[in-house]
Each structure stands twice: as C-alpha cells, then as structure tokens.
C-alpha cells in the first residue's frame, strides 16, 4: 500500500484542522482560566469554542470525514446494506 493512499478516516483538509485547533485552544484557555480562577478568561475561552464551532460548521467539517477513505460520500455504504 502506498503512503499516499487514504484508507479511511479523515480527509484532513486544512480548514477542518484549523477549526479543530480553534476549538481546542478555546477549551485549553477555559481550562486554564478555571485553574487560576479567572472568570472573564473562562468566558473568553467559551466564546472561542463557540466561534470555532461556527467556523467548523461553515467549512462543512463533518463532510470531511469518510469511513471509506474518501472514495464514497459520507453516509453511503459501498458494499450494500448491513
């Protein structure tokens, strides 16, 4: 199998990874804020997570995932019914 073949999982578009990074940064920011007991920073972290989720929805992050390695559209079963 070649190293460039996509054998399931994520299509790994840059936009999807950026959306995930923004969401993770928001969670980390909120977590650190809770540890140091800084509520304004916590709410900024929550806002960053919300912005990341909106961005993820805008770039169609869930359409970037394919159980069959991008060969078939998400939600389709290439072998027939289960």
Query: Looking at 6-73, which runs of residues are DSSP E strands?
Result: 9-10, 65-66
64 near 20, Cβ under 8 Å?
A: no
Q: How confident is the model over 31-50, as pLDDT tens digits?
A: 999 999 999 999 999 999 99
Using the structure block, give the residue that is written with the tokens 């961005």. Answer: 55
Between 33 and 63, residue with greater pLDDT: 33
Query: What's the predicted TM-score (pTM) here?
Result: 0.68
Average pLDDT value for the chain: 80
Question: SS3 for 24?
Answer: helix
Q: Where are the domains of the chain?
A: 11-65
Residue 19 has pLDDT above 50, yes or no: yes
């Amino acid at each position: 199998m070649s190293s460039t073949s996509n054998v399931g999982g994520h299509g790994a578009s840059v936009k999807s990874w950026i959306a995930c990074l923004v969401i993770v940064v928001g969670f980390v920011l909120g977590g650190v804020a809770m540890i140091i007991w800084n509520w304004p920073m916590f709410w900024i972290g929550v806002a960053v997570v919300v912005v990341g989720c909106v961005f993820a929805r805008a770039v169609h992050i869930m359409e970037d995932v394919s159980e069959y390695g991008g060969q078939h559209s998400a939600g389709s079963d290439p072998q027939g019914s289960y």
